[in-house]
Amino acid sequence: MIAEKNNVVSIIYELRNGSGEGEIVEALNNGNPLTFLFGTGGLLPKFEENLTGLTTGDHFEFLLQSVDAYGPVIESAVVDVPKSVFVIDGEIDENLLQIGTTVPMMDAEGRRLNGKVIAVEGDAVKMDFNHPMAGNDLHFKGQVTDVRRATEEEMTHGHVHTDDGCGCGSNDGSCHDGSCEDQGACSTEDNLGCSC
């Protein structure tokens, strides 16, 4: 069986920043492989393209240019947010205002996004909403550890189910409406995008 649309693929890998000699950003081993439903748009398209046709046991190594990963750093994604946004129970939560803290937020359209605090200036908090890997080339080296056919239910829901039930992050193992994002399992911090 090969890595192709509607198959469940498990991989382990080492992700390095910029090149094969760059800083290790993430390392997944057999104890915590990335398992995903191939071809559903949950991962970076060029990442999946490099895995297409591989089978269990195959090794891979490739570099994604930043344009094919998370794109360039966008200056307009660095914005000033009023300090009042950080008021919880009538008080500003100072823990959220530490430089380098990543804060989950929501935009005006209700989309979830994470912002990194980069400065606190008077009544404003300067936040960077670029993806943490924006502007970086990504070097992947790893192995396909398993490929199997997705179940009808997985294809209908658009994500992998685990032995514990749904892989949506729900506490009771059920799938609810099939939306992982509603269960809070998806994070823009994920290096490859949401795997749901």
**Residue 52 placed within a domain:** yes
For residues 58 and 92, state if they share a domain: no
**Residue 165 placed within a domain:** yes
Q: How many domains does the chain have?
A: 2
What's residue 80's pLDDT? 94
Rounded mean pLDDT, 77-96: 90
**Residue 55 placed within a domain:** yes
Domain that holds residue 179: 7-70+135-183
- Could you give the angle at the alpha carbon of 174 between the alpha carbons of 171 and 180, nearest 5°? 80
**Residue 192 placed within a domain:** no
Confirm whether pTM is higher than 0.85: no
For residue 98, the domain's CATH number is 2.40.10.330
What's the chain's average pLDDT? 85
For residues 15 and 64, state if they share a domain: yes
Query: What pLDDT digit, counting tens, does each position of 151-192 carry?
Result: 999 988 888 987 655 544 444 444 544 444 333 333 333 445
